Structure 1
Amino acid sequence: LGPTVDVGSLVSQGCRPIGQPLVVTKAERNIVYELGGQPAYDRLMEIAKAGLTEDEVRMVNEGLFMGLVIDEHQLEFGPGDFLVRNVMGFDPENGAIAVNDIVDVGTTAQFHVRDATTADEELRRLLAGQEADAALVFTCNGRGKRLFGTPHHDADLVDVALDGAPAAGLFCQGEFGPVGGRNFVHGFTASIALLKGS
């Protein structure tokens, strides 16, 4: 792009937490056996029994995620502090939960669900006040009409936020972008490069 183009970036993961953050106390590679000293599956069931709303139960059934804290040196965790990963499965007998990433003992984790309202609000918040001469929009093929019920949701938000600046992009099945100041490969995200001439 050249030295006269500044590139900014943002990633909308589109998920919100359920339950409370817990420390991973036993894990091997991508299998989480214990959260807070208890079987991980039992912790998930505690959250379910604590009173998920009907919408949250539906979202869990459509796809459960585990957020892994990127920077443990904080007192509280909020949006943008978690790297969100798919829960691939679980074993109620041994209490294990499989996640699509390596999970280290000592990591703070929290279950997440994905929903259109959260994804919309997060992307609007990330785009608020941004200025760019152009944008590159890389959005997961699991977003768009599948998530929002209408096509071009993310592109339309970028168009409005950047006051019609040119934008190009594509649908992906895996997106690159920074969360917590580090780059990762993601799923179900909108990863946007904001281009501004200097």
Structure 2
Amino acid sequence: AYPNSGKVGGLASGAQMKGENALYLDDKIHRSGLVGIALSGNIGMDTIVAQGCRPIGEPVKISKCNNTLLTGMDGQPPLDLLQTIHEELDEKDQSLLQTSLFLGIEMDPLKDNPQQGDFLIRNIMAADKESGGIQVGAMLREGQLVQFHLRDKDMSAEDLRLVLNRYKTKEHSEKASGALLFSCLGRGQYLYEKLNHDSDMFRDQLGDIPLGGFFCNGEIGPVGKTTFLHGYTSSFGIFHPIH
């Protein structure tokens, strides 16, 4: 629905069993489905998706893959490339690579120089030492640009600061009159060991724009021109008048 419009949101969470979640629409409670609102008129919505990762190594092209199985990156097995990257990292990042490694997938093939935040971050599900391949939580195709990424609380904070600062350079950012934040349950106090981290940084970077929202069990927001379901992400919708 609404293929040319920006979309943000989140998955309901908190239930112990299927069917226990509650979605509210007017005076009714729904146990499944989707509740949303479409806006029209003199109102625009900018989107910011902070995936909380920092790239390591260099972007490379997929040279061989089969659905979600990645077996060639610029002509070499992914695990071989990863070993080369590992040797160039400091001790802290080498440790993170063992537990918090992800693959970023470039979603806009027209971009000549993709930056941090331009990649769709997906989990690495498994690795095969014999073939050197890795299983990724996304459908892949040969020729796509990909790059390994790491995540921790410092990187997540820096990534959020980066995308908010990037938004401030937009011409109409000063006209922002309200915003919504959909943030992962895995962020917040669980990740940062402090309350209100993302909302406080939003205010510090963009000023006293009214901000509402909630924690989610999966966040909805665009990367490039396509909307995706994310994890460990903060997804913002920032509203402003068009005219």
Fold agreement, TM-score > 0.5: yes
Q: Alpha-carbon deviations, 1:43-86, whole Å to 9, x = none?
A: 212211x2311221222122210011122334333223211111
Q: 1:41 aligns with which of 76, 79, 84?
A: 79
Q: Verify the 8 A CA contact 2:126 2:136 in the aligned structure 1.
A: yes
**More divergent stretch after superposition (162-171 vs 26-35):** 162-171
Preserved contact between residue 63 and residue 87 of structure 1 (Cα < 8 Å): no
More strand by share: 1
TM-score w.r.t. the length of structure 2 is 0.74
Match of 1:134 in 2: 178
Counterpart in the other structure of 2:107 = 70
> Gapped runs of 5+ residues in structure 2?
1-38
Aligned length: 197
The residue aligned with 2:121 is: 84
Larger Rg: 2
Q: Map 1:1-198 to 2 at 5 A.
A: 1-48=39-86, 50-128=87-165, 129=168, 130-131=173-174, 132-197=176-241
- Shift of residue 34, structure 1, vs aligned partner: 1.4
State whether residues 39 and 94 of structure 1, in contact with CA within 8 Å, keep that contact through their aligned partners in structure 2: yes
Query: Secondary structure in 1 aligned to 2:72?
Result: strand
* C-alpha distance in structure 1 between counterparts of 2:205 and 2:89, whole Å: 34
State the 1:99 CA deviation.
0.8
Matched residue type, 2:60: L
Structure 1: gaps spanning 5 or more residues: none
Q: TM-score, normalised by structure 1?
A: 0.89
Q: Root-mean-square deviation (CA), in Å?
A: 1.8
Code of the aligned partner of 1:152: N
SS of the equivalent of 1:38 reads coil
Kept after mapping to 2: 8 A contact 1:13/1:190: yes
Per the TM alignment, residue 125 of structure 1 is displaced from its structure 2 partner at its CA by 3.0
Percent of residue pairs bearing the same amino acid type: 38
Letter in 2 for 1:154: D
